[in-house]
Structure 1
Amino acid sequence: MTFAVIKTGGKQYKVAANDVIKIEKLDAAPGDIVTFDQVLMVGDTIGAPLVEGAVVAAELVETKKQKTVIIFKKRRRHNSRRRNGHRQQLTTVRITEILTGGAKPTIQAAAAKAEAPAAVADEAPAKKAAAKKPAASKTDDAAAEKPAKKAPAKKAAPKADKE
């Protein structure tokens, strides 16, 4: 199975394994496995309208907003203008598998994610400790390099009155 065509968010996407695509917002957390069961085509098999038993599994990477799209409406010679902006919510997903014949998605992506935070959690205290030491030495060095405060400028002597 080299590729599949899926339908989500009212749009159709041609996907293959390890593709990263941006789709309409999904209600899931980063790292979750998402399945798309509306598969229109897998390789040479075309569905009528869907391919029976075909599923595409993906790992949710992140959810964020798109760049701002400006909507500007103007009616000439009527002194009428309207400006508005819109930022669409998008979800980025990485396609992990294309399955046929009613097969269930494997949980490799979820297991890999579960192992990764444990490794990161072990490294986090070491990084924090290392980060604190240089920060303390930088402040000591900065204090030593600062020049002493200048003495305040002397005021000019008052002028003598001429009589």
Structure 2
Amino acid sequence: MFAVLKTGGKQYRVQAGDVLRVEKLAAAAGDTVQFNEILMLGGDTPTIGSPMITGAAVQATVIDQIKGEKLIHYVKRRRKHSSQRKKGHRQKLTLVRITDILASGAEKSGVKAAIGAGSAPAEAAAAPAAKPAKAKAAKAEAPAAAAGGDDLKKLSGVGPALEKKLIEAGVTSFAQIAAWGAEDIAAFDEKLNFKGRIEREGWVEQAKTLAQG
């Protein structure tokens, strides 16, 4: 009986006793791993998956973690100002010995699935799903800082980005801006990198008018 399995983006035709070099797996020498992506089972009654065969698996014992042959990558550009680049690469591989081919019952075998060294387990992969919700919550908190404050975007030249800068600096009302003196203007201009915008746009005078309603 033989099987065609898929791992590391490649397909292998295997049978019990075969020694195989596959893309590096997250396993140590002596571990038993199980390949669950089976495309075909051969024998007296061949079975072809669509695309995988449910319940089928191939079990193997990890012999060692090795490196493949050295590959040289060389690039040369033939121009007036020519350039060349040369680098070598040795692919990390895992050497395994096929021990058993299961036509069914893979989920009940108790053997851990063969996972690529760069892949995360299913449980860990699910964790980042909580991130968008957290980011969304943080985003929702930003306007809350200005709750009860004035709409600073009514000032000339102030958009959402500048309003956010002002709120983060503790400025939330027109009354605060209306009370700014020369020193305050210079301090905020430098602190928030407004480059003279406060005086140029006349925020103080605008704020005095807006504060009166």
Query: Is the shorter-chain TM-score for this pair beyond 0.5, marking a shared fold?
Result: yes
Deviation at 1:75, TM superposition (A): 1.0
Question: In the alignment, which residue of structure 2 is the partner of 1:28?
Answer: 27
1:14-25 equivalence runs, <5 A = 14-25=13-24
Normalised by the length of structure 2, the TM-score is 0.47
Residue pair 1:61, 1:93 contacting (<8 A) in 2 also: yes
Q: Structure 2: how far apart are the matches of 1:33 and 1:105? A: 11
Residue pair 1:97, 1:105 contacting (<8 A) in 2 also: no
Larger fraction in strand: 1
Question: In the alignment, which residue of structure 1 is the partner of 2:86?
Answer: 83
Q: Structure 2: how far apart are the matches of 1:33 and 1:8? A: 15
Question: In the alignment, which residue of structure 2 is the partner of 1:46?
Answer: 48
User: Which one is further off, 51-60 or 71-80?
Assistant: 71-80
Matched-pair identity in %: 54
Could you tell me which amino acid in structure 2 is paired with residue 89 of structure 1? K
Deviation at 1:64, TM superposition (A): 1.2
For residues 54-109 of structure 1, give each alpha carbon's deviation from its aligned partner in whole angstroms, at most 9, with x where no partner exists. Answer: 010000000011121110001123421110111110100000000112155599xx
Deviation at 1:12, TM superposition (A): 0.4
Runs ≥4 in structure 1, deviation > 3 angstroms?
103-107
Q: Which runs of 5+ in 1 are unaligned?
A: 108-163
Q: Structure 1: how far apart are the matches of 2:96 and 2:59? A: 10
Could you tell me which amino acid in structure 1 is paired with residue 99 of structure 2? T
1:1-163 equivalence runs, <5 A = 2-43=1-42, 44-78=46-80, 79-102=82-105, 104-105=108-109
For residues 138-163 of structure 1, give each alpha carbon's deviation from its aligned partner in whole angstroms, at most 9, with x where no partner exists. Answer: xxxxxxxxxxxxxxxxxxxxxxxxxx
Q: Which runs of 5+ in 2 are unaligned?
A: 112-213
Query: What is the count of residue pairs matched by the alignment?
Result: 106
